Amino acid sequence: ITTLAMSEVRPSSDMAAFRAEVRNASHVLILSGAGVSAESGIPTFRGAGGFWRTYQAQELANPDAFKRNPSLVWEFYHYRRELMVTKRPNPAHEAIARFEEEMAKQGKKVVVVTQNIDELHKRAGSQSVIELHGSLFKTQCTVCFEIKENRDSPICEALRGKGAPDAEGEGSKIPTESLPRCGSCSGLLRPHVVWFGEGLNEDVLIKAYKELEDCDLCLVVGTSSVVYPAAMFAPEVASRGVTVAEFNLEDTPQTFNFKYHFSGQAGKLIPIALG
């Protein structure tokens, strides 16, 4: 008999079979990307909403852009922080948080490893969340490197009312002394997020890799699986022979590495899968 390469066998979409595997699991890893927050009204990176003004995220989410025009980059993050004031977790975030609670009662573990910086998993009640790429609501000082939570709206007076996604041109050119400054050393603050070209935090990576090794079931929800190293996490788990189920509106470059692929909206599918 010829052994079919993984890439020729379409993943299963048998929800009953997957739900049976969920019931048998005792350490579930849930990897999430922007698609899990789409139904909360947060634009994803590659969908239509993936643009802010004339820029794609990776044009602004990088150290050079910040060095060149910190005012524009802060307008981008200020806009995303303020957007969150009117947004809230959707049924996908809520089902994941409830699932963690139920499993904990049986002495079982659920861990969320998210690429998102919107904190919606935490707001839904998830306790065990690893934020691979940081958070919109943390700053880090470019001088003394102090990391602090910051939920001020606006984060500084000069950004009040700024950041409109439909404004033209190079932004407001706010002088750096009026941008967010460090309370300890008055150095210029930046968002505590991992930008393109920056390494992920060592401790965060170590914690994430441990979950990749320990889990006995994995869901990968709403990610295009094109940004590394996060894009390799679910395929890594699948290569250990552990069941991985992908939940997405469409196929991704990794779909054929997984045992299950469920097509549709996370807000609809996750409550069924984990309910």
Distances 174 to 17, 184, 219 between C-alpha atoms, Å: 56, 22, 43
Indicate which of Zn ion, ligand BV8, none lies near residue 182 (CB less than 5 to 8 Å, by partner kind).
Zn ion
For position 187 contacting Zn ion by CB under 5 A, the verdict is yes
For position 174 contacting ligand BV8 by CB under 6 A, the verdict is no
Q: How far is the CB of 188 from ligand BV8 (least distance, A)?
A: 18
Contact 245, 219 (CB under 8 A): yes
Distances 264 to 41, 76, 144, 188 between C-alpha atoms, Å: 16, 29, 45, 43
Contact 237, 215 (CB under 8 A): yes
Indicate which of ligand BV8, Zn ion, none lies near residue 83 (CB less than 5 to 8 Å, by partner kind).
none
Window of 103-111, 162-170, 188-196, 206-214 that interacts with ligand BV8 by CB under 6 A? 188-196
The residues in 104-143 that bind ligand BV8, with binding defined as CB under 6 A, are 115, 117, 133
Distance, CA of 159 to CA of 122 (rounded, Å):
26
Nearer to ligand BV8, 152 or 198 (CB): 198
For position 57 contacting ligand BV8 by CB under 6 A, the verdict is yes
Nearer to ligand BV8, 174 or 227 (CB): 227
Judge whether 168 is annotated as a binding position: no
For position 33 contacting ligand BV8 by CB under 6 A, the verdict is yes
Judge whether 90 is annotated as a binding position: no
The residues in 193-232 that bind ligand BV8, with binding defined as CB under 6 A, are 193-199, 222-224, 226-228, 230
Interface residue with ligand BV8, options 31, 34, 159, 218 (CB under 6 A) = 34
Q: State which residue has the least CB distance to ligand BV8.
A: 35
Residue 133 is a catalytic residue: yes
Judge whether 175 is annotated as a binding position: no
Contact 4, 199 (CB under 8 A): no
Nearer to ligand BV8, 94 or 109 (CB): 94
Number of residues that bind Zn ion (CB under 5 A): 8
Which of 78, 93, 121, 133 is labelled catalytic?
A: 133
The residues in 127-146 that bind Zn ion, with binding defined as CB under 5 A, are 141, 143-144, 146
| Beta carbons within 8 Å of 208's beta carbon, 6+ residues apart | 113, 130, 132, 233
| Beta carbons within 8 Å of 80's beta carbon, 6+ residues apart | 117, 118, 136
Q: How far is the CB of 39 from Zn ion (least distance, A)?
A: 38
Q: Which residues are catalytic?
A: 133
Binding residues for ligand BV8, rule: CB under 6 A, are 33-35, 38-39, 44-47, 50, 57-58, 61, 115, 117, 133, 193-199, 222-224, 226-228, 230, 247-250, 252, 265-266
